Amino acid sequence: MNERIPRNRSGAGASVCQPLSRAARISKRSGVTLIEMLVVVTIIGLFIALVGPRLWSNVDKAKAVKAKADIEGLMGALGTYKLDNGNFPTTEQGLAALRTKPADAPQWAGPYTEKEISKDPWGHDYIYKFPGEHGDSPDITSMGADGEPGGEGINADIVSWKN
């Protein structure tokens, strides 16, 4: 057996503790330590804790603005319905009369909305009442986030008779 044992420059046999090549040293140092990962995760957590609540409050404000815009759009469609039929739909006919012809509306020229009547931004039906309690126009109400009458903040009712 004529095997050759690799030798280093000094001529001695191969050593276990030979210096690493440059490429091996770079790849050994290129990892991320656990401490570095914990610091990054902590920074991300602090960012979410500080910025998150501001983003969520804007979402609630946007829902209230959308509900008000929906109510204004429905009031416009109801005005057109009244021009064609001489009166607003009754409470029993409801907002569905804007999409489906009621039996007692011979001059109906709808549908008066492009899409189906949607729910409010919180998933509740808009409440329609005619004759209304606040003037000659119908009352349309969104009960807010809680779906209950009254409330404050995001739970406040959004109504057609107030700006």
Query: What CATH number did the domain enclosing 62 receive?
Result: 3.30.700.10
Residue 4 pLDDT: 56
pTM of the shown model? 0.66
128/50 Cα distance (integer angstroms): 40
58 lies in some domain: yes
Is 129 contained in some domain?
yes
Domain limits at 72? 22-159
- Answer whether residue 98 is part of any domain: yes
- The reply to whether 30 falls in a domain is yes
Q: Which residues of 17-36 are buried (b: 16+ CB within 10 A; e: fewer)?
A: eeeeeeeeeeeeeeeeeeee
Number of independent structural domains in the chain: 1
Q: What are 68-122's pLDDT values in tens digits?
A: 999 999 999 999 999 999 999 999 999 999 999 998 888 999 899 999 999 999 9
Buried b (16+ CB within 10 A) or exposed e, 71-106: beebeebbeebeeebeebbeeebbbebbeeebeebe
Q: Which of 73, 70, 89 is nearest to 81 (CA)?
A: 89
Q: Is 130 within 8 Å of 89 (Cβ atoms)?
A: yes
Assigned domain for 68 exists:
yes
Is the residue at 6 inside a domain? no
Decide if 143 is inside a domain.
yes
Residue 109 placed within a domain: yes
- Cα separation, 130 vs 104, in Å, equals 16
